[in-house]
Structure 1
């Protein structure tokens, strides 16, 4: 994210290296992501499907510590962002919690996205299952010091967060970059939780799991099947492959863990975790 005289700009270069190859980045493919016109300096965007309608919305961590929610009223390919609230989940601006950074990941393995926020004073907060909460409340027991005592862990001023499963234990770890140029690694030692039970799961089949490319979903009635990353990014919709059978193609996606969301009138909304080898 860069600040220019014309305002804030977010750009990325797609990786063409394939699932197992080295990064292949072409500067000519530099692509800009859309941002609201009223975004001010110091804000941090998080692109995520907040209302789970298949379109990527936008959460903004403001420099002053609040969270703004912009709903995508356009399409997935041509988004238009409309401000819904300046205090998402009750998180308002707070002068003592400035320098906001935020990222979403399933940190405890319950197949529900958690929100991680970091602040200018070096503190870190975890809000579990935040997409299903009206008011966000941080879990004070989630962040511990090396001495295993709960504390307001200091990870460095103006931290910027990234998550990835660095030790391949099935749980995402945290890397925090600071304004002095250092990197702090926080290994995830959470106990993996069992997913919350869903009604009607006995009549929904998803497999094979793990998979090398294709996944077939069989449901008791007509369904909508969507594929998401662990960060909540919508990756695509399954195509129908017969009566109440749907097929997901993972071609071009990197190896890792993905979420398949199935919604039917009879079984409600069900989420399954799929491992792509």
Structure 2
């Protein structure tokens, strides 16, 4: 039997063309009973890491498929994807009273090459995407203005860019500082106007500190910690600790001096995932107290209350604040009351390059200690199923459920309890689903895989 290789699969007009390690997935994307084709890169080290998910619709049959290209940006054209790693930062850049959104990245693919030993090398560069808030205080609406704010792509050695804004020379316009992979912080000045900012690099390695040079992946944040009228600096880093630089200068002439390289003995390291913590600070004032939130390598979001004066270096964990690892590795966080309802909202970035949005609701903190639903005895049967599934549980309370397809859409939701524990799935398409289970009487969320045949 002769065999031939099709170098233009799945068709001559629109073949798959992905730089490295294409991964193919056969599944029913559009719920028409025919299995379609999705293709993306699977090599995280060297891929062109944005805008590359091919969707080929099957216009033939499942036995003899005919794949026709529908999009090279499947789902990506409906969401945010800034490349490898996403770091959201909120700031009102044009002073119009509406908070804007900036999302930097670890890197975008610039080029790849083979060295003399035929080893593949890839070159990346960092950028900042600027989303201007064109909505209102109650109804924010973010419009993408540029994917290369401050022209960071011109700086070839800039990787893992992380921005922070603050008016440190008292001219009414915020300066921009950027921490990076190699452990330096660069200073950019707005040479334009407040309404039409134009940031230019003024000084590389702006913070001169022998201690700072030994750290990597710097993530700075401004805040007037000691309420003396000048902005201080907290800087996260790869080690998962925080460096505190006190501003001993004036409003127009800042002088930052290192006060602590392990502020509050905070650590975002979770050794189940890594010996590095990748702390990423976000500082807010809550009930007249400074509070430090932080992303981490594990994906956990940490919160710490600063006790008394920041110079004491005393912090306590905020144990009520919970955000689990579903956000993805190397999480980072932006907190602000975006819809002006009195509660903080949260935008979380992650290694995959997208962002998650969480709307703030009323604090329902109670003194009753709740059991984690993941520690309860909950099972689904039969699984796989065809017409009905049953939920067996040792809980006496109502359990809320959501059945979610692989596109993230909620297909069905409802409640179950000890007297009614059957869920009818007869009208659902054959395929793989995720069922989300949670209860008001427990904490946490339980996810289980559901197969419908």
For Structure 1 versus Structure 2, the TM-score category normalised by the shorter chain is: 0.5 to 0.7
Contact 2:184/2:213 (CA < 8 Å) preserved in 1? no
Q: Distance in 1 between matches of 2:300 and 2:248?
A: 29
Q: Deviations over 1:98-121 (max 9, x none)?
A: 011010011222232111101101
Cα separation, partners in 2 of 1:124 and 1:192, compared to 1, 3 Å: closer
Q: Which moved more, 1:171-180 or 1:155-164?
A: 155-164
Q: Note the 1:138-177 alignment, pairs <5 A.
A: 138-140=258-260, 143-144=263-264, 151=265, 153-156=266-269, 157-166=277-286, 168=287, 170-177=288-295
**Alignment match of 1:10 (pick from 124, 129, 138):** 129
- How many Å apart are 1:16 and its aligned residue? 4.5
Q: Return structure 1 stretches of 4+ with deviation > 6 angstroms.
A: 252-255
1:45 counterpart residue number: 163
Alpha-carbon deviation of 1:71? 1.8
Query: Post-superposition shift, 1:13?
Result: 5.6
RMSD between aligned alpha carbons? 3.4
Equivalence for 1:34: 149
Native 8 Å contact 1:125 1:140 kept in 2:
yes
SS of 1:102's equivalent in the other structure is strand
Unaligned runs of 5+ in 1: 145-150, 194-251, 256-277
Distance in 2 separating the partners of 1:141 and 1:97: 10
Match 2:207 to one of 78, 89, 92: 89
Name the residue aligned to 2:363.
Answer: none
Larger C-alpha radius of gyration, 1 or 2? Answer: 2
TM score, norm. by length of structure 2: 0.36
* More RCO (CA 8 Å, sep 6+): 1
What CA distance in whole angstroms lies between the structure 1 residues aligned with 2:134 and 2:282?
Answer: 17
Check if 1:80 corresponds to 2:198.
yes
Decide whether the 8 Å contact of 1:66 with 1:91 is kept in 2. Answer: no
**Structure 2 residues without counterparts, runs of 5 or longer:** 1-103, 111-124, 270-276, 312-338, 343-453
Equivalent pair of 2:242/2:279 in contact (CA under 8 Å): no
Q: Number of residues paired by the alignment? A: 184
Residue of structure 2 equivalent to 1:245: none
Is the alpha carbon distance of 1:14 and 1:100 closer, same or farther for their aligned partners in structure 2, counting shifts above 3 Å? Answer: same
Partner of 2:207, secondary structure, is helix
